[in-house]
Structure 1
Amino acid sequence: MTDQAASLRQLARPHTGALPPMFALTGARRSGVSSLCAGLAAAAALAGQRPLLLDHQNGQTLSRLAGVPASATLGGLRVSRGGLTDLMVASRHDVTLVNLAASPDERSRLSERIWQRLGSEFSALEKDCGVTLIDAPDPALDPVPLLIADNLVLVITPQPEAIMRGYACMKRLATDFGRRRFNVLVNRVHGQDEAHAAFGRLSSVAGDYLGVSMRWVGFVPEDAAVRKSEALRRPVVEAFPGSEAALAFAQLAAMLPLWHAPDSGHTRTSYLEQLHETGKALAVPTER
């Protein structure tokens, strides 16, 4: 397995802010975003990084991939009941998973009282973690998690459709919401050459039309061990630690905090506070 971290070590600088670096992963449907989130989180946990994993997708996919029981979702919380413990579960590998799945409309119906309670509880949890990973929803359906994350990781596969859908996602975030920096991670490839070729096709299109900054951060190979580990409901880094995919996850997780290069230089507040406030701001009609 090629050491993917070598080319980044010369440039990387560790994060020194009050809150841990935050990475939101997004990409075309069936590009394996949830699988990558779970794999990176497990590898980061085994490396002692204390990852916080935030699930914004419906269906409890991350809980299955992490091998933990399903929890309540943010959208399912009642106005006067429920707290962070209802949404949270920890894996035996020390991954903390918080299920924030909710549509913008469901979030808007939660009372200010419950937002205050959740925000206070979440803030303490957030500060105690080393890195935050977000399984973000499609920005066409709910852009808020991708707007407030420090760093964006666009996931593509070598298939032309996945590259074009990745481009469409990038275009929406750049054109409509001013995001300019994108880390690109290529999934399910048969080697570094194929991964670089996929990145090259994306960058040639985006570079001509979007004016964004794209950074190659690595790849995860196509590996039957990933499918086997998902069937076992165990992270591939635990179930098949010698597999190519497990080695890739370990290398990428080691470099993950060093990818930190947010669009904005502003000090950010707690994620749940930003989720609530940004959602309210986007819901206000634009004056003509």
Structure 2
Amino acid sequence: MGSFKCDQAEGLRRLLAGPKPRIFTFLSATSAAEKSAMLVNLSASLASSGSDVVLLDACASTNGITHRMGAEIQATLLDVARQERALNQVVQAMPQGFGLASLTRGSLHAVTRDANQQRRLSNAFNVLASQSDVLMVDAELDEDGNLPIPAMANGDIVVQVSPDAASIKNAYALIKRLNAQLGRRPFSVLVTGADEQEAALVYQNMAQAASRYLAVELHSIGSVPQDEQTTRAARLGRAVIDAFPMAGASVAFRRLAERFTLSAHGAKFGA
């Protein structure tokens, strides 16, 4: 367990060592429900710790966070790039404490074939990132294994995985595709639906395989246990830390947010 905690500290230290804005691009190898629960509750936890957080839906499918939350999109970053809307119309304040935005309402295929529009969309993305403390990106890879916007790789890429074999296999496949497109660079791993011991085993097995077969370094940023209170809070339209502050998941999310905050101020993990 000592190695896992050391890797976890190093992973979180790396996440927040760079200059602001902090961009975290999340790719999930879990169910849409588990992914959305993680994104909402982690964003809410960071917001409750004092960070200005924007959660950006960059998914072309219906698995994106805006669809999962039932949010009505008034304007997107693509609208801004096309000079049809202003940037201040894109972010919606959510009751959980963070802002919610959307990259587009549908496919980005046409945009990626237009260099000028892609440049404008990247500029809009960078401005959105600069106006928040933390930009959380709910992303999917396209059929070629690319991120929707290359700038999403400028921050930290976090792969979410659960302990079941199918999720671990899918997570490794995601890392393999990312490595093929982005070249050798480290990636972060967040294990959900697992206690600390399970998470340690999942991370260590993935890290060993990635190092051996891909020469890729992985860092753990922690874990969140399975907790029915998370689902109950979602039904209430609230974050679990607010609805059920003593739940196991609440403790885990607060601990993760606290580590982010302490690291941002130069404190050592485990202190």
Q: Same fold (TM over 0.5)?
A: yes
Identity %: 25
Give the match for residue 214 of structure 2: 210
Q: How far off is 1:175 after superposition?
A: 2.0
1:45 equivalent in alignment to 2:44? no
**Normalized against structure 2, the TM-score is what?**
0.77
**Normalized against structure 1, the TM-score is what?**
0.73
Q: How far off is 1:250 after superposition?
A: 1.2
1:243-258 equivalences under 5 Å are 243-256=247-260, 258=263
8 Å contact kept, 1:139–1:172: no
1:1-288 equivalences under 5 Å are 8=9, 12=13, 15=17, 17=19, 19-30=20-31, 32-57=34-59, 58-59=61-62, 61-63=64-66, 69-72=71-74, 74=76, 77=79, 81-101=84-104, 102-108=106-112, 112=116, 116=120, 119=123, 125-140=128-143, 143-145=146-148, 147-148=150-151, 149=153, 150-189=155-194, 191-256=195-260, 258=263
8 Å contact kept, 1:75–1:103: no
- Considering only aligned residues, what root-mean-square deviation do their CA atoms show, in Å? 3.5
Q: How far off is 1:98 after superposition?
A: 1.2
Matches of 1:140 and 1:119, distance apart in 2: 24
Matches of 1:181 and 1:107, distance apart in 2: 28
Mark the CA change 1:256 to 1:145 in structure 2 (over 3 Å): closer, same or farther. farther
Matches of 1:117 and 1:204, distance apart in 2: 37
Q: Secondary structure of the equivalent of 1:170?
A: helix
List per-residue Cα deviations over 1:130-149 (Å, max 9, x = no partner): 11111111354662247533
List per-residue Cα deviations over 1:37-87 (Å, max 9, x = no partner): 211110010000111211112437534766x84214648849563333443
For residue 196 of structure 2, what is the amino acid of its counterpart? Q
Matches of 1:146 and 1:251, distance apart in 2: 31
Q: How far off is 1:193 after superposition?
A: 1.0
Matches of 2:142 and 2:219, distance apart in 1: 20
8 Å contact kept, 2:78–2:121: no
Matches of 1:113 and 1:136, distance apart in 2: 19
Matches of 2:118 and 2:210, distance apart in 1: 41
Gaps of 5+ in 1: 260-288
